Amino acid sequence: MFAGESYHVALKHFKDGHVSAVNLAGHFVCLIFCIFGNFGLLELLDQRIPQPLQNGRILSTLSAIVWIGILIPTKAPKVVTASSVAMIGLAYWYASLIPKVLFEQCAVGGFIIAIVGTNMLYKSEKIELPFSEWVPKLLLAPGFYSASHLFSLSSYAGSQIDNASAIAIGTLCFLTALSATPNPIKKVEVAGVLLSRIAYILSGVEEFFYLSCGFESSLFQLICHLITNEEATLIAHGNKGGQHELALEYAHVIYFPNISLETIYDKFNQASQAKQKEY
């Protein structure tokens, strides 16, 4: 009820679109990026609203409790659910303590290392595209990271333009309008990364930094699919449209920690069993 579709259905659809070890490695980094970015944003929002308790964090606490409460009853292996809960717990306590620049740099660097390293280790599942094709696609990740910092190198760096509210509202309205256009997913992801970062730099509203990171994480997932030639579930659902696809994508988001980790867990077990048979 809370996740749109059942866990079993969400897991099946995720596995259908995430087969190769390279794709899963990239999504693992994106999972960490997403969870820590979410709680970094919630921490900032908590600072803006009255709290019922001293030093309270009502939004962060409720989000962690509800999310964990949804993940625990799933039929995922215990080690998978425990790992998901641990990730959420670590993000809840430590996300706001990580310097923002270091947080993003680790995500971008970790993503590239995960893709290249997994491609080297899993020789039986090497990227099928020629080297000259998949490397430029991978370099989109640091490319968008660099582009999103372009304004920080200008004379605007560190400044805060008056009327930050107008910048914030204008950015959100534009992204909302863009999402209503035909086939909006790729356009919104690219515009979301760049415009949210520009809004952060020009207005000084820190929430836009984490919003930009959210779009960046989604863009990195798309890069995984471009490299491995596996259809992205968000794009697949967006092309079909309809309430059922919306429910599937909602379930994908809610169950993302468990379905991604369970798919990786199953992949690892399959590889271990295959090695045992060789001997």
- pLDDT value of position 155: 42
- Reduced 3-state DSSP string for the chain: CCCCCCHHHHHHHHHHHCCCHHHHHHHHHHHHHHHHHHHHHHHHHHHHCCCCCCCCCHHHHHHHHHHHHHHCCCCCCHHHHHHHHHHHHHHHHHHHHCCHHHHHHHHHHHHHHHHHHHHHHCHHHCCCCCHHHHHHHHCHHHHHHHHHCHHHHCCCCCCCCCCHHHHHHHHHHHHHHHHCCCCCHHHHHHHHHHHHHHHHHHHCCCHHHHHHHHHHHHHHHHHHHHHHCCCCHHHHHHHHCCHHHHHHHHHHHHCHHHHHHHHHHHHHHHHHHHHHHHC
Residue 141: pLDDT band with limits 50, 70, 90: confident
43/64 Cα distance (integer angstroms):
12
Q: Which of 51-55, 148-152, 182-186 has the lowest mean pLDDT?
A: 148-152
Q: In this predicted model, what pLDDT tens digit does every residue of 34-80 receive, in sequence order?
A: 999 999 999 999 998 888 877 789 999 999 999 999 999 999 999 99
The model's pLDDT over 213-245, given as tens digits with 9 standing for 90+, comes to: 999 999 999 999 999 988 877 666 555 556 777
C-alpha dist (Å) from residue 101 to 107, 152, 209, 275: 10, 12, 10, 41
pLDDT at 235: 63
Least confident of 113-127, 160-174, 232-246: 232-246
Asked if residue 27 has pLDDT above 50, the reply is yes
Average pLDDT for the chain: 85
185 confidence band (pLDDT: 50, 70, 90): confident
Domain boundaries defined on the chain: 18-267
